[in-house]
Amino acid sequence: MPLLLPVTPENLAKAAATLREGGLVAFPTETVYGLGADAANDQAVARIFEAKGRPSFNPLISHVADIEAAERIAIFDGRARKLAQQFWPGPLTLVLPRRPEGRVSLLATAGLDTLAVRIPNHPAALELLRAFHGPVAAPSANPSGKLSPTRADHVVLGLGKKAQLVLDGGPCQVGLESTVLSLTQETPCLLRPGGISLEALKELLGPVEVAAEGGAIQSPGQMESHYAPHAKLRLNAIQVKSGEALLGFGPTAPVGCLNLSPAGDLIEAAAHLFAYLRELDQPGVDVIVVMPIPRHGLGLAINDRLRRAAADR
Ligand code: AMP
Ligand code: MG
């Protein structure tokens, strides 16, 4: 069983230390319980996906304690500041351009140039974020495909030992996920309905588009819904020709190639995936050849992302 701890100053310090060490901490927010990791630590973020058993990498929300911390990782315009002033802390997630020099893991944003951020309205969450001094990436603290947890015991039942520590802050007040609003284009776009209503957003912003069910951004001219390299991708291969670059995996990969994990560790491979794809995706490289990746654990999500990137071409 993970440590189920009441919210006390000592336990908040323990939780912040666990995050600093790259561990997973489940914590209460006003919406649902989140499964948090240091957003700047690739391996810690990879552990979130492993713990949830997600078959794909979707971008995670970075949680911060104040607007200054949010502005260190994302680029705010006037609209974003106005929304933050009115609704933060609260159940509104803003999708904004990623600050290039921000330290958030590429895996946390699924390789995108945009970043989702919010300040949660829960005293324990805010104290944890202040104690940790950095952004915490956190999806809901439940196994993939299961209901979101609104009580600490739901987290323990669902995730077992996969979170090192669960802070018990009682039942969540809102019990609904946060509203996700994208400000990466001229007209704001509602990606997911949630705790803040569309009407409340329109009152402040004027017109707001509503994305199709599922949250994918689909109308023409809008941002890509996931990261795709410019080079073509050839999967499950080991032969490399000129103009091609090899992305290796495991101990059998040729020495000197960029290797997702020389030891064949899927958490390490997931942690490196987006950064290494970007590194190989350079002018002069027509094809990125990717060695076979096992189809279990995080390998499912890695293969899913590679398959989509390959199909995009
Ligand atoms: P959850 O982590 O379960 O609360 O879900 C986070 C939601 O935010 C999902 O619907 C994501 O697709 C969405 N999201 C997070 N980051 C981005 C982003 N950069 N662009 C678009 N949607 C995002
Ligand atoms: Mg969820």
pLDDT at 257 over 50: yes
Q: Are residues 260 and 303 in the same domain?
A: yes
98 C-alpha vs ligand 2 centroid, how far in Å?
A: 22
Stated pTM of the model = 0.90
Least confident of 62-76, 121-135, 165-179, 203-217: 203-217
Q: Are residues 65 and 173 in the same domain?
A: yes
Q: Are residues 10 and 64 in the same domain?
A: yes
Report yes or no on 227 lying in a domain: no
The CATH number of whichever domain residue 291 belongs to comes to 3.40.50.11030
CA distance 180 to 163: 25
Under a CB-based contact definition with an 8 Å cutoff, are residues 142 and 34 in contact? no
Report yes or no on 87 lying in a domain: yes
pLDDT for the residue 228: 80
Q: Are residues 72 and 187 in the same domain?
A: yes
57 C-alpha vs ligand 2 centroid, how far in Å?
A: 12
CA distance 215 to 138: 18
Residue 2 banded pLDDT, cuts 50, 70, 90: low
The structural domain count of the chain equals: 2
Residue 212 banded pLDDT, cuts 50, 70, 90: confident
Domain boundary among 144, 179, 210: 210
Residue 215 banded pLDDT, cuts 50, 70, 90: very low
Look at the block and give the residue holding tokens 């009682």: 170
pLDDT digits (tens, 9 = 90+) for 107-124: 999 999 999 999 999 999
Average pLDDT over residues 35-55: 96
Q: Are residues 77 and 187 in the same domain?
A: yes
Report yes or no on 221 lying in a domain: no
Q: Are residues 200 and 249 in the same domain?
A: no
Q: Are residues 18 and 145 in the same domain?
A: yes
Query: In this structure, which ligand is nearest to the CA of 146?
Result: 2
Under a CB-based contact definition with an 8 Å cutoff, are residues 39 and 137 in contact? yes
140 lines ligand 1 (CB under 6 A): yes
Residue 221 banded pLDDT, cuts 50, 70, 90: very low
Q: Are residues 173 and 252 in the same domain?
A: no
152 C-alpha vs ligand 1 centroid, how far in Å?
A: 23
Under a CB-based contact definition with an 8 Å cutoff, are residues 214 and 180 in contact? no
Q: Are residues 200 and 251 in the same domain?
A: no
Query: In this structure, which ligand is nearest to the CA of 74?
Result: 1
109 lines ligand 1 (CB under 6 A): yes
Under a CB-based contact definition with an 8 Å cutoff, are residues 232 and 288 in contact? yes
Report yes or no on 94 lying in a domain: yes
Domain that residue 194 falls in:
3-210
Report yes or no on 217 lying in a domain: no
Pairing of strands 179-182, 232-234: unpaired
pLDDT at 82 over 60: yes
25 C-alpha vs ligand 2 centroid, how far in Å?
A: 16
Q: Are residues 285 and 136 in the same domain?
A: no
Q: Are residues 242 and 137 in the same domain?
A: no
Under a CB-based contact definition with an 8 Å cutoff, are residues 163 and 155 in contact? yes
Report yes or no on 266 lying in a domain: yes
Q: Are residues 56 and 152 in the same domain?
A: yes
Domain boundary among 210, 243, 273: 210
